[in-house]
């Protein structure tokens, strides 16, 4: 099967989240950083993390996991300085002009779709976090460093 990435692009919708565009246009929202983690091997639950920056300066994180009801997912307040540092790294890495990491395939252990949205503008980059190549490694390392709770790996347990 050729790699088209459609599974990861549909992940937020399949977890019951509103579209990124709709969420970014909500009243009081300044911007959203979304990280969709798709695990090809299926040992872990797929997840979508949204860091929402509000116009009044508040920043919150919501992480939705495959198989977990949305209404049970807490919104966690984050320090604005963490997101400012992450955004500085994204700017230095020229995130807004990057395309997807070259050579991606369904053979990767995991794939991340990292998207930024502000109003109607959305830009995204797909990366293989286990295969670091510059400048993608810089972005992956910044997310690991500044937002580790956004990419926490949760085991997928099958009922027996």
Residue 1 scores a pLDDT above 50? no
- pLDDT, average across residues 29-44: 89
In this structure, is residue 1 part of a structural domain?
A: no
How far is 19 from 75, CA to CA, in rounded Å?
A: 17
Number of domains comprising the chain: 1
Q: Write the pLDDT tens digit of every residue in 21-31.
A: 999 999 999 99
Q: Where residue 160 falls among pLDDT bands split at 50, 70, 90? A: very low
- The predicted pLDDT at position 40 comes to 79
Is the pTM here over 0.95, yes or no? Answer: no
| Domain span holding position 125 | 6-151
Residue 159 scores a pLDDT above 70? no
In this structure, is residue 156 part of a structural domain?
A: no
Judge residue 52's burial from the number of C-beta atoms within 10 Å of its C-beta, 0-12 exposed, 13-18 middle, 19 or more buried: buried
Give the DSSP letter string of 53-121: EETTS-EEEEEEETTS-GGGPPEEE--HHHHHHHHHHHHHTTGGG--PPTT--TTSSEEEEEEEEETTE
In this structure, is residue 107 part of a structural domain?
A: yes
Q: Write the pLDDT tens digit of every residue in 64-114.
A: 998 777 666 778 899 999 999 999 999 999 999 999 999 888 777 889 999
In this structure, is residue 112 part of a structural domain?
A: yes
In this structure, is residue 160 part of a structural domain?
A: no
Residue (of 150, 154, 21) closest to 83 by Cα position: 150
CATH number at residue 94: 3.30.1560
Instruction: Return the residue matching tokens 């970014």.
Output: 24
Residue 158 scores a pLDDT above 70? no
Residue 127 scores a pLDDT above 70? yes
Question: Beta-carbon neighbour count of residue 145 at 10 Å?
Answer: 12
CA distances from residue 115 to 35, 58, 139 in whole angstroms, order as listed: 6, 20, 12
In this structure, is residue 75 part of a structural domain?
A: yes
In this structure, is residue 125 part of a structural domain?
A: yes
In this structure, is residue 40 part of a structural domain?
A: yes
How far is 152 from 154, CA to CA, in rounded Å?
A: 6
Residue (of 86, 75, 90, 105) closest to 8 by Cα position: 105
């Amino acid at each position: 099967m050729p790699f088209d990435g459609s599974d990861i692009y549909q992940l937020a919708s399949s977890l019951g989240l509103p579209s990124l565009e709709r969420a970014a246009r909500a009243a009081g929202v300044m911007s959203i950083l979304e990280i969709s983690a798709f695990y090809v091997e299926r040992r872990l639950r797929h997840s979508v993390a949204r860091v929402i920056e509000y116009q009044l300066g508040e920043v919150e994180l919501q992480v939705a996991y495959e198989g977990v009801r949305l209404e049970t997912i807490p919104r966690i307040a984050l320090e604005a300085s963490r997101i400012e540092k992450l955004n500085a790294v994204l700017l230095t890495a020229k995130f807004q002009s990057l395309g997807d990491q070259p050579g991606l395939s369904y053979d990767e252990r995991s794939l991340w779709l990292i998207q930024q949205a502000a109003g109607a503008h959305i830009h995204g980059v797909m990366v293989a976090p286990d295969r670091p190549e510059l400048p993608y490694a810089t972005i992956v390392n910044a997310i690991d460093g500044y937002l580790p709770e956004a990419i926490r790996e949760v085991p997928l347990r099958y009922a027996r």
